[in-house]
Amino acid sequence: MSDEEETASQLTDKQKMEIAKWFLLNSPAGEIQYVARDIRAVLKNERVYRAAVAEAFPLYNKAHMICLEFPDRSGEVIVSSFSEIDKNEYLDPRTAQVARVDHVKQVCEDARPANDEELPSSYIEEYRCALDAEIIKYVSEAYPKGVCSVYCANGKDVEEPGSDFELVVLISAARHSPQNFCNGSWRSIWHMEFKDELQIVEVRGKLQVGAHYFEEGNVQLDAKHECKDSTIFQSPDDCAVSLTTIIRHHETEYLNSLQVSYSNLPDTTFKDLRRKLPVTRTLFPWHNTLQFSLTRDIQKNLGLESSK
């Protein structure tokens, strides 16, 4: 028996499940199914495997805000903690439907009309719907394969002015190209706190970019950013325009900062990863790193190539 097999035999089923869950939850965007397949082969224990995927997949799907299409193609639902109605049930406020999701298969199995208590009041819906319309326009321009949705996180029963409430905007975009050994994702969560007494809307944003390039190697990017802003509490349409402008500004600014950081990689990070004079005794051509496919391919698949 090899050392690896002996070590594995000493682990309890619970320990094996926790290790499997860790690998599943840390899978890059769009790759959890591949990781699950390999874990199944390594574990050789169907019970432990099923227990691990049953716990890991729902957490992974919500964290990555995956988007699933309804069976009748009437719309899409974003799987997230903000859209979660019950176990395996997720609300799409745009179509007022609740989807029943199979997390492991990552498919929407069925859908039903949302109940009145699952939807916000007509007053809140005015603000939610107006913001949703503006966000759709922005996402269609900024993210070719992006999806978005707006939820009421607090105060959905507010019927008239005079009380506070909170809306949450989710934006998710993914580009999966495993045949080209590259996957990437963008996720942003925007909390909009409408404070009636102060007549202000406070905005908090959490942005996350992930990318994985794995042709003859394993290069990953996991970047996160948080920001704050505010605007005046106005009519639904005016608020929607102001809030979308804030989102556009901060997301564009962050993407530009990533592009600047990436353009500096040859002179900073790449140099730190490699000896100045390798064992071949041949200097690495830092002045012309674009000749290497890794640099070109990462730049292309992240959409960060310089405009010409």
136 and 250 together in one domain? yes
- SS3 assignment, position 9: helix
Q: Is 296 inside a domain boundary?
A: yes
Dmax (CA) of the chain: 74
Q: Which residues, 6 or more positions from 40, have their beta carbon under 8 angstroms from its beta carbon? A: 46, 49
User: Residue 308: is its pLDDT beyond 50?
Assistant: no
Are 140 and 245 part of one and the same domain? yes
Do 272 and 257 sit in the same domain of this protein?
Answer: no
> Range of 86's domain?
67-116
More confident residue, 111 or 1: 111
Dist CA 254 CA 251 (whole Å): 5
Residues 183 and 287 in one domain: no
Residue 139 has pLDDT above 90, yes or no: yes
Integer Cα distance of 66 and 78 in angstroms: 6
Q: Kindly state whether residues 105 and 128 are assigned to the same domain.
A: no
Q: Is the pTM of this model over 0.85?
A: no
- Asked whether residue 178 falls in the same domain as residue 248, the answer is yes
As for how many domains the chain has, the answer is: 4
What's the pLDDT tens digit per position in 225-271? 999 999 999 999 999 999 999 999 999 999 999 888 777 766 666 66
Q: Assess whether 250 and 270 both reside in one domain.
A: no
- Judgement on whether residues 78 and 206 belong to the same structural domain of the protein: no
In tens, the pLDDT along 148-206 reads: 999 999 999 999 999 999 999 999 999 888 888 889 999 999 999 999 999 999 999 99
Is there a domain that residue 308 lies in?
no
Q: Are residues 161 and 225 in the same domain?
A: yes
Does residue 42 share a domain with residue 88?
no
Task: List, in sequence order, every residue forming a beta bridge with 68; answer none if it has no partner.
Answer: 77
